[in-house]
């Protein structure tokens, strides 16, 4: 049977009490409801009594100074001040009462009704525990390493909150942030060739694609290949079209060149193979079910380059371009392709000069592309024999819009582009992004080590 505590003042109204009173004579408070003071001192009391909730910082009592020599510290007890060096009260807070080893938290958490037979919570702790805490300990149920937790669940970690798992649709299950997709930024090196593609700053996806590779001709001399494609945004599934075209063209070139096919003929055949790959997308049943009938079939542009010992081949359909930039910048650069576009037709017909044509809102309307609803396909190819080392810039209009003329392109191509193609490709993509990044940006750089004399178009 618990004893009623001996109190000198009512804990409710703080009026004086007579010894043996069971009820406060002033407010009627039931003094038997006050639990007896325990004889031992729980841990939280040893660190100082708990201050009133919401006390301002610095309002907690400071530890007492060291007593004079020979003076004894007050005997420990519930009202005794903390020993010297003890932390101020309530600096250490717990979400749950401290648990002795072998005594886990009760089922349902602290404060929940417990099943019969489960040890009751400490009355002392309940009486001293404030309703809220200034600090909360980390929840031990949450892994301290979200990346490890998500990896263990077979998923990726959100790049925004670094805690949520990314679902199959590419969104964080925790904060809902859309994750970067694989094609948002791509980089690749293959032998001496390098390429970089970026989504840009305005588009919600990257509709460009590239494919690069290196092989050997029958005589053992090296050959480098670069293909760049730009999906037509007004068409259905432009990203699929550019990917299919770049893959088909590069595979055709890398298979034909070692067999001895002339590079210019191989380029022509590669563009035809790319066209067939894009056309096949229009015949897929999923396309007919998913999209309205009035939408155009998948479509894209294409430009490619093949560099062999002393020979440079380019091929294209659409308005993606190839530029020649010599290592020796005292020699003039050159644009190696002619756009299949409204602006190019106006210039060719003598109706506008180049500046006027490309300033028109119809300038980038293309007149040639790969796709099931394209006009009669006319692959363009050209062969050149540069007389000095240089680099071939193969790019989409997302880059050349910010460096249109050949001399403008030469100014933004780094001087060491032939030796550092990947770094230089990054620089060129950065130039387009710094200019506004209005479109997807893709560029491939193919170094050309000149070994023969003479130059011209074949």
pLDDT in tens, 404-441: 999 999 999 999 999 999 999 999 999 999 999 999 99
| Residue 139 predicted with pLDDT over 70 | no
Residue 451 CB coordination number (10 Å): 13
| Residue 447 predicted with pLDDT over 90 | yes
CB-hemisphere CA count at 13 Å for 321? 24
Q: Which pLDDT value is given to residue 244?
A: 98
Q: Which pLDDT value is given to residue 147?
A: 55
Cα 260 from chain centroid (whole Å): 43
Dihedrals φ, ψ of 185, to 5°?
Answer: -150, 120
Contact between residue 298 and residue 282 where contact means Cβ atoms under 8 Å apart? yes
79-88, 255-264, 290-299, 334-343 — which is least confidently predicted? 79-88
Strand locations in 264-379, DSSP E? 299-308, 311-317, 321-326, 334-335, 370-371
- The kind and range of the H/E element at 384 are strand 380-384
Per-residue pLDDT band for 138 (boundaries 50, 70, 90) equals very low
Record the tokens describing residue 117, joined without a space.
């037979």
Distances in Å between the Cα of 417 and the Cα atoms of 211, 414, 435 are 19, 5, 20
Residue owning tokens 């294209």: 316
Q: Please compute the mean of the pLDDT values over residues 145-149 and round it to a whole number.
A: 56
Cα 261 from chain centroid (whole Å): 42
3-state secondary structure of 236: coil
Q: Which pLDDT value is given to residue 89?
A: 43
Any bridge partners for residue 212, and if so which?
A: 226
Cα 343 from chain centroid (whole Å): 37
Say what the pTM is: 0.63
Residue 445 CB coordination number (10 Å): 29
Q: Which pLDDT value is given to residue 111?
A: 43
3-state secondary structure of 125: helix
Q: Which pLDDT value is given to residue 241?
A: 98
Q: What is the pLDDT of residues 76-134, one digit of tens each?
A: 454 555 555 544 444 434 344 444 444 444 454 444 455 555 455 444 444 444 444 44
Q: Give the list of residues 6+ apart from residue 45 with CB closer than 8 angstroms, or none.
A: 78, 128
Of 241, 226, 247, nearest to 323 by C-alpha is: 226
Rounded Cα–Cα distance for residues 170 and 180 (Å) = 8
Q: Which pLDDT value is given to residue 290?
A: 55
Rounded Cα–Cα distance for residues 334 and 323 (Å) = 6
Of 65, 64, 58, 124, nearest to 91 by C-alpha is: 58
Write the DSSP symbol of residue 292.
Answer: -
């Amino acid at each position: 049977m618990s004893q009623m505590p001996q109190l000198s003042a009512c804990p409710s109204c703080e009026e004086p009490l007579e010894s043996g009173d069971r009820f406060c004579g002033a407010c009627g408070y039931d003094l038997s409801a006050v639990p007896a003071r325990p004889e031992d001192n729980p841990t939280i009391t040893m660190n100082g009594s708990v201050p009133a909730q919401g006390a301002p910082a610095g309002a907690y009592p400071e530890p007492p100074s060291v007593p004079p020599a020979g003076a004894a510290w007050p005997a420990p007890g519930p009202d005794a001040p903390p020993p010297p060096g003890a932390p101020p009260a309530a600096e250490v807070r717990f979400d749950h009462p401290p648990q002795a080893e072998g005594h886990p938290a009760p089922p349902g958490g602290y404060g929940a009704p417990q099943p019969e037979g489960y040890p009751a919570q400490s009355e002392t702790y309940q009486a001293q525990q404030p309703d809220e805490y200034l600090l909360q300990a980390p929840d031990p149920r949450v892994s301290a390493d979200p990346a490890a937790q998500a990896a263990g669940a077979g998923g990726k970690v959100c790049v925004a909150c670094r805690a949520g798992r990314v679902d199959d649709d590419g969104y964080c299950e925790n904060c809902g942030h859309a994750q970067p997709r694989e094609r948002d930024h791509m980089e690749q090196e293959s032998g001496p060739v390098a390429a970089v593609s970026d989504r840009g700053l305005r588009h919600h996806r990257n509709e460009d694609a590239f494919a690069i590779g290196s092989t050997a001709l029958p005589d053992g001399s090296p050959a480098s290949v670069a293909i760049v494609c730009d999906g037509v945004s007004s068409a259905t599934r432009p990203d699929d079209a550019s990917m299919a075209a770049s893959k088909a063209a590069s595979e055709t070139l890398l298979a034909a060149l070692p067999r001895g096919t002339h590079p210019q003929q191989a380029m022509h055949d590669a563009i035809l193979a790319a066209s067939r790959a894009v056309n096949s997308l229009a015949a897929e049943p999923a396309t007919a079910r998913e999209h309205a009938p009035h939408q155009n079939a998948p479509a894209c542009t294409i430009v490619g380059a093949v560099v062999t010992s002393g020979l440079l081949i380019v091929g294209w359909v659409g308005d993606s371009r190839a530029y020649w930039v010599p290592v020796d910048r005292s020699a003039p650069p050159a644009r190696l392709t002619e756009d299949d576009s409204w602006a190019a037709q106006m210039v060719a017909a003598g109706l506008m000069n180049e500046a006027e044509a490309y300033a028109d809102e119809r300038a980038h309307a293309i007149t040639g592309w790969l796709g099931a609803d394209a006009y009669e396909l006319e692959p363009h190819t050209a062969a050149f024999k540069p007389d000095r080392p240089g680099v071939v810039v193969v790019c989409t209009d997302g880059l050349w819009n910010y460096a249109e003329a050949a001399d403008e392109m030469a100014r933004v191509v780094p001087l060491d582009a032939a030796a550092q193609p990947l770094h230089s490709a990054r620089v060129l993509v950065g130039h387009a992004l710094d200019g506004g990044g209005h479109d997807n940006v893709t560029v491939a750089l193919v170094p050309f080590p000149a070994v023969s004399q003479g130059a011209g178009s074949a």
